[in-house]
Amino acid sequence: MGRKRKGDPVHGWVVVDKPTGAGSTPAVNRVRRFFNAQKAGHAGTLDPFASGVLPIALGEATKTMAFVMDSTKSYEFTVAWGARTDTLDNEGEVVETAAARPSSAEIEAALPNFLGAIEQIPPAYSAIKIDGQRAYDMARRGEEPEMQARTVEVLDLRLLDCPDADHARFSLSCGKGTYVRSLGRDLAAALGTVGHLCQLRRTRVGPFGEAQGHPLNDFSLEDGEESAHKAARERSLLPLQASLDGIPAIALSDMEAMRLRNGQAVSLLRKLDLERVRNIDQGSTALATCAEKALALVRFEKGALHPVRVFNL
């Protein structure tokens, strides 16, 4: 018999508006303790110097984290021209300087070169593993990790304003694996100077945006009554399927649901089933529900629904 997890069976999503200075893992632990949840995880690390949207999955919602992590992300960031740091942000040591300052017209002219699929070298101070070691651990020891270029996708990149000659603010929409710090470095190089990020805010991760975010300080067990804590839990907890808005759903009967829970496929070959699956492509993933509750992630293949991840709700 497996060891019983400590805590309560809490399932769903919480969107934290992470402040600067806080780490992603401590934020997850704080939310998990607040809900007394058995299990928790976040859908994409946000650097301590950055702020913004940090989606946290509780319980069975952790089974859907991949859908959020693979989704489009949006940011607002500020580049400080004239100095490059070893971390490519304002927490590092300056390693190179330059006198050149790009004009807004020069910046606008350079942006199209950073749209679409682009090659990008991740920062040395990143969590990427090299021969089993984190790159940032190697960099902190004074080593120079060999970072390999990777292809990332930039969907939208716009200049918002130039507060002064030393700074420029941007908005960004990008795919999985894009490093905003590297983008700032490469943009500066294309403009004939150097630079680093002095501000970074994530405004959206897939279906989760700033409007759904709650300050990290809201998740405190200090002071206040249990009734207030309960109200805060109910206010901030989103349903498991909130992360699955982008995939089709199909409602199943109790008998069909039982088959899925037992790891068996559900056949949908009858004529009356055609309408039920008309929005589901062969080989694609769908959300199976029963009595309006999330049941399982399924794959539709050869006229049947095959269980991929069953939710124990």
The pLDDT assigned to 257 comes to: 93
Indicate whether 218 and 165 sit together in one domain. Answer: no
Indicate whether 65 and 78 sit together in one domain. Answer: no
Indicate whether 108 and 158 sit together in one domain. Answer: yes
| Residue of 17, 47, 89, 186 with catalytic role | 47
Query: Taking the mean position of all CA atoms in its chain, how far away is CA 1?
Result: 35
User: To the nearest 10°, the Cα dihedral for 248, 251, 257, 260?
Assistant: -20
Name the band, by pLDDT with cuts 50, 70 and 90, for residue 223.
low
Annotation says 47 is catalytic: yes
User: Of the residues 182, 205, 228, which one is the last residue of a structural domain?
Assistant: 205
Give the residue among 71, 75, 74 at the shortest CA–CA distance from 176.
71
Q: Which two tokens stand for residue 239?
A: 């349903």
Query: Into how many domains does the chain fold?
Result: 3
Indicate whether 137 and 193 sit together in one domain. Answer: yes
pLDDT in tens, 51-78: 999 999 999 999 999 889 999 999 999 9
Strand, helix or coil for residue 221:
coil
Name the band, by pLDDT with cuts 50, 70 and 90, for residue 255.
very high
User: What CA–CA distance (Å, rounded) separates 117 from 136?
Assistant: 26
Indicate whether 219 and 280 sit together in one domain. Answer: no
Indicate whether 169 and 253 sit together in one domain. Answer: no
Q: Is 18 within 8 Å of 180 (Cβ atoms)? A: no
Strand, helix or coil for residue 173:
strand
Indicate whether 259 and 286 sit together in one domain. Answer: yes
Instruction: Find the domain containing 258 and state its range.
Output: 247-310
Check residues 290 and 190 and name the one with the higher pLDDT. Answer: 190
Within a domain: 110: yes
Within a domain: 4: no
Task: Give the DSSP letter of residue 166.
Answer: T
pLDDT in tens, 92-135: 999 999 999 999 999 999 999 999 999 998 887 767 777 777 87
The pLDDT assigned to 4 comes to: 64
Name the band, by pLDDT with cuts 50, 70 and 90, for residue 89.
very high
Q: How are beta strands 304-310 and 214-215 bridged, if at all?
A: unpaired
- Taking the CA of residue 145 as centre, how many other CA atoms within 13 Å lie in the half-sphere pointing to its CB? 26
Within a domain: 134: yes
Give the residue among 75, 101, 36 at the shortest CA–CA distance from 232.
36
